[in-house]
Amino acid sequence: MFFKCETFEQIEQPVLTIRTTTSVSELPSLIGSAYEQVMAHLSSLGQQPAGDPFVIYYNMDMQALDVEMGYPVKSSLPGSGDVQLSHLPAGPMAACLYTGPYADCAPAYEALTTWVVDNGYETTGVSVEYYLNSPAQTPPEQLQTRIVFPLQKPA
């Protein structure tokens, strides 16, 4: 399977998120709940998301995933309870688009990882998945996920 990989420069982006630790088996229900909480908070502020929902993966420990889930917003907004203001950092990023069931995205991660190394970049170890369409309205084989790796300068 071919994946078009590319780099881009991201500007700092304010986001409203929930950050927690969970097992991979609990992740799907946790993501849905987090998005609902963030959307409810945005609604209470009279605001809408400024982009696609995402999950940041700070590690790949399948029993204790450190994840941050939420939405980009147009400006810094106050948090409430578990929903907090955060920022996606500015800097160089590598990305590819995966189409298909969420559970089958490993080849896209492998392709992006290989592309990053082959092109002389290094990742920070963090990955971000942006969900470009909804599993509630889209067949699994048509789901689109943009996978992004923040990059660092080689040592």
> Could you give the number of structural domains in the chain?
1
pLDDT score recorded for residue 85? 98
pLDDT of residue 48: 97
Q: What is the pLDDT of residue 154?
A: 61
- Which parts of the chain sit beneath pLDDT 70? 153-155
pLDDT at 16: 98
pLDDT, residue 2, reads 87
CATH number of the domain at 108, please.
Answer: 3.20.80.10
Range of the domain at 32: 5-152
How far, in Å, CA of 121 to CA of 92, rounded?
10
Torsion of CA 50, 8, 89, 143, to 10 degrees: 50
Token digits for 134? 């909804």
